[in-house]
Chain A
Amino acid sequence: MNTTILLFLLQDGITNGAIYALLGLALVLVFAVTRVILIPQGEFVTYGALSYAMLATGQVPGTAKLAVAMGLVAFGLDLFSARKSLHSRLVARAVAVDIVFPLAVCLLTYALAGPKTPIAVNIALALLIVAAIGLFLYRIAFQPIAHTSVLVLLIASVGCHLALQGLGLVFFGAEGLRGPALSSVALTAGSLRFTGQSLAVYGLAIAFIVALWLFFGYSLTGKALRATAVNRLGARLVGIRTTLSGQIAFLLASLIGAISGILIVPITTLYYDTGFLIGLKGFIAAIIGGLVSYPLTAVAAILVGVVEAFSSFYASNFKEVIVFTLILPVLVLRSLAAPAVEEEKD
């Protein structure tokens, strides 16, 4: 092996690892707040990426209409669950969040979409659409069963994944898409070439990790979100609105997913079902991080990316086997380090 290959593999691994880190963070975030293991995270990635790619070709992606439709369902659920105590402020909020917001995003997309739309506008539109979908996904699928066991939430999560993946095929078709690069800048250092794209990946990943760490460690809202995760009842008793916490978590997770997608779609072709496997690798990083620690998740994600890069070079057939079995020794170590705590669950 020579140094060039080594460096190249490392670079490749770190770029992928940074994406896994972002997704791992989103998974940790959602799990910590809502106890939902977010399988549809992969769909947020593909929705973000492919919506952006379609917008770049001047088309309006079907996801914009999905956001409106989900908003309508959420509106119905909001009115139904508040039927005993309907007052004007509540209805006004529901109309604003569930109907005006997605409708505005959808209309804006129709108005702005075109072959000459600047990249920044396309990115903003794609992010808004996916954020709306993420928000309503929590409202519709998870809020009514927020009190149930992790297992039931997980199964519901898989149901959402199936539905969203199927819809992805309807919206984007079976063929893969690629999007335009964010910037065409490139730096050369020795034998390595850094594209603007990969630099953006590193920069954003680091920014998000630091921001989330600060947000959860030091801000009151962040602490309220964590409190919701530990004890819903206790959090409600001290005045934290637990449903709002869940919605914020899903909003953030869908945004992070969409950004990851937009970052990688210029590098690799994405298909409607690619997100699942990408999400799973982020998931491994999140598990290694114990579903609680952000910095550890980030480090683990880089590790997963690098291992993947090296094993695809040396044993490409067994790449996935190696990546997924990597996690077992880590799990054992973590279990030994944190010996069984009595769990009161049902």
Chain B
Amino acid sequence: MTQRLPLIVFALVMALIPLVPGIPPFWIVLLDNIGLAALVAMGLVLLTGVGGLTSFGQAAFCGFGAYTTAVLTTAYGVSPWLTLPLSLLVSGIAAVLLGIVTVRLSGHYLPLGTIAWGIGLFYLFSKLEFLGRNDGISGIPPLAIGSYKMLSPGAIYCAIWIAVLISALLTMNLLDSRTGRAIRALRRGHIAAEAFGVHTPRAKLLVFIYAAVLAGLSGWLYAHFQRAANPTPFGPQAGIEYLFIAVVGGAGYVWGAVLGAGIVVILKEVLQSYLPYIFGGQSQLETIVFGILLVMLLQLAPSGVWPWLMAWLPLKAARKRPDTSLTLPARERAPTTSAALLQLDRARKQFGGVTAVNDVSFDVKAREIVALIGPNGAGKSTTFNLITGVLTATGGKIAVLGKDVEDAPPQEVVKLGVARTFQHVKLVPDMTVLENVAIGAHLRGHSGAVASMFRLDRADEAKLLAEAARQIERVGLTDQIDQLAGSLSLGQQRIVEIARALCVDPMLLLLDEPAAGLRHMEKQRLAALLRQLRDGGMSVLLVEHDMGFVMDLADRIVVLDFGTKIAEGTPDAIKKNPEVIKAYLGAAA
């Protein structure tokens, strides 16, 4: 992998630093602190930068890790190495309990919730008798291998940075996988991810636990590094500082966490040791300057220092193309019968007093292209949302292959083989076309988070990427496969959405205005593709405003106006229907 080489170089540099003759021991202490902070910030990168869940409470998870080992080693004499899994476990369990409550919070409630329990836990740490109240616990034994005790900052340096490097590697592996794509899709809202079977609350809880376990690891190391634990480093101030580190470094980048930790820790240290010389003894001057510098840094580089730095370095390694000879098992196709694939029976949706969809009934049969047309506000997109489970119908029946889906969540509907695109494109702009399309194949892979972290998912992953690459080729975007989705034109982004939907290997494809923003030639190519899909056994239901495109392509047309079906029939019949003409052009004179 292209990520490996810089990692190995970095590991070598870090390994050589303590061997440099005459290096001040104090620098090693600083590097220890940077490593400890980087571990927590790395969790935040995943949680906040990638997953979009802002947490102020990470310091509290460090506290769980540190106090677990502190209590067990001092009061019960357990060996420090045995407490490592326990520390991680306690942090993880705390994360599950808090996460179940927290990740369900929507919008701004989430960061606020984390502030609340972050502060609550801090006061709890400082009041509980068995945690030593405000004084904490001291006399924690050092880490030891055999008879070698890691007493000096230089000795524990290795332990800390090995932990940082392994965590960085595991985190990058996780991000570059099926689960990782699901996590990266979280930040752009949940509707698109769920439409392809991602269980978003579960994915959120996963990153929450992952970040907490990394923080717990940092806390465990901290306890054995300081040989003491007290509440202050696990309080709200520290929680805020970890968030700083992640944001300053670049909230979406694993190495941004390490860089941010370096910047913040060294900056604070420099300010603390040199400012009193310059301005003479004024205490707290460093917080003033630190605060001001932080605001200035954000104004210069609002997205963090790491991406800003990377823009200067020519580190654009060529990506490996997926091997398209690998295949995934295909869905079993319904035989060409006239039985309805999708059936709406008086489907109804009311928003308060507005009836957006008013008892609409129609069906889509196998190997058929049906168009849903109507003026703006006719209820076409709402009908799509009812079918795909984004909205729950107020009344009526919706069935896919005879199975009722009007109450099913989007994840269940897609399992039945119904894939969709969105009127307002919902791609992840900072993921490549290939990665975006691979989200469509989410349900066809099996590897979980742990397998991905240890690269046991490669066979599964290669098949998913091969499928994605094949669908991209099918829609004719192979030249753009490695570009970021956000850099494509809107028309091309719509085509990417179609490729993503095709990755589901759907029976029924729902397209919401697929031709909008396309040029004439592109529209013709799209029409040809849709015909080819139909002939291959797929059904298509599409919403479209381009009448030429619709009349040319559709086998059957359903016309909605103000939520009510006003006509249904072949394109020729619809063209002559007086109701339809009235709806589009106003009453005939």
A residues near B (Cβ < 8 Å) are 140-141, 144-145, 148, 150-152, 154-156, 158-167, 169-170, 280, 283-284, 287, 291, 317-318, 320-321, 324-325, 327-328, 331-332, 334-336, 338-346
Contact = CB atoms under 8 A, between A and B. Distances in A.
A163 B289 CA distance: 7
B112 A325 contact: no
A335 B116 contact: no
Contact of A321 (B105, B120, B287, B289): B120
B78 interface: no
Contact of A341 (B54, B107, B293): B107
Contacts of B291: 158-164, 166
B256 to A, nearest CB: 14
Interface string B283-315: 111111111111100110010000000000000
A308 to B, nearest CB: 13
Contacts of A148: 298, 302
Contacts of B119: 280, 320, 324
Interface in B116-173: 116-117, 119-120, 123-124, 127
A335 B105 contact: yes
B111 interface: yes
B247 A331 contact: no
A170 B115 CA distance: 28
B298 A152 contact: yes
B191 A342 contact: yes
Interface in B235-254: 240, 243-244, 247-248, 251
B116 A327 contact: yes
Contacts of A164: 291
B101 to A, nearest CB: 6
Interface of B: 48, 52, 54, 101, 104-109, 111-113, 115-117, 119-120, 123-124, 127, 187-191, 240, 243-244, 247-248, 251, 282-295, 298-299, 302, 429
A314 to B, nearest CB: 14
A320 B113 contact: no
A280 B236 CA distance: 11
B112 A287 contact: yes
A267 B485 CA distance: 59
Given A165-B287, A170-B284, A287-B112, A335 B106 contact: yes
A334 to B, nearest CB: 6
B240 A334 contact: no
B298 A166 contact: no
A325 B247 CA distance: 27
18 contacts: A144-B299, A145-B299, A151-B247, A151-B251, A152-B247, A152-B298, A154-B54, A159-B293, A163-B287, A163-B291, A163-B295, A167-B288, A170-B285, A280-B115, A283-B115, A317-B127, A325-B120, A331-B112
A141 B283 CA distance: 24
A335 B109 contact: yes
Q: Which of A141, A159, A161 has the most CB of B within 10 A?
A: A159
A151 B124 CA distance: 27
A243 B73 CA distance: 56
A169 B283 contact: yes
B104 A321 contact: no
A321 B298 contact: no
Nearest to B105: A335
Given A155-B294, A155-B298, A328 B117 contact: yes
B244 A145 contact: no
Contacts of A169: 283-284
A23 B181 CA distance: 41
Contacts of B302: 145, 148, 152
Contacts of A335: 104-106, 109
B133 to A, nearest CB: 9
A155 B292 contact: no
Given A328-B101, A335-B106, A320 B120 contact: yes
A148 B116 CA distance: 24
Given A166-B287, A335-B106, A159 B298 contact: yes
Given A145-B299, A151-B247, A159-B292, A331 B120 contact: no
Given A159-B292, A283-B115, A328-B116, 7 more contacts: A148-B302, A152-B247, A284-B116, A287-B116, A318-B124, A321-B127, A343-B107
Contacts of A336: 104
Contacts of A287: 109, 112, 116
Given A156-B294, A280-B119, A325-B120, A338 B106 contact: yes
Contacts of A163: 287-292, 295
A156 B113 contact: no
Contacts of A144: 299
Contacts of A151: 48, 54, 111, 243, 247, 251
Nearest to A280: B119
A331 B116 contact: yes
A159 B293 CA distance: 8
Contacts of A152: 247, 298, 302
B413 to A, nearest CB: 17
B190 to A, nearest CB: 7
Contacts of A332: 101, 104-105
Contacts of B251: 151
A344 B189 contact: yes
A325 B117 contact: yes
Given A164-B291, A320-B123, A343-B189, A158 B104 contact: no
Contacts of B108: 150, 291
B106 A340 contact: yes
Nearest to A167: B288
A325 B287 contact: no
Contacts of A344: 189
B190 A339 contact: no
Contacts of A284: 116
A228 B298 CA distance: 22
B28 to A, nearest CB: 27
Nearest to B243: A155
A141 B302 CA distance: 13
Contact of B109 (A145, A321, A331): A331
A284 B236 CA distance: 14
A66 to B, nearest CB: 11
A40 to B, nearest CB: 10
A182 to B, nearest CB: 31
A328 B115 CA distance: 10
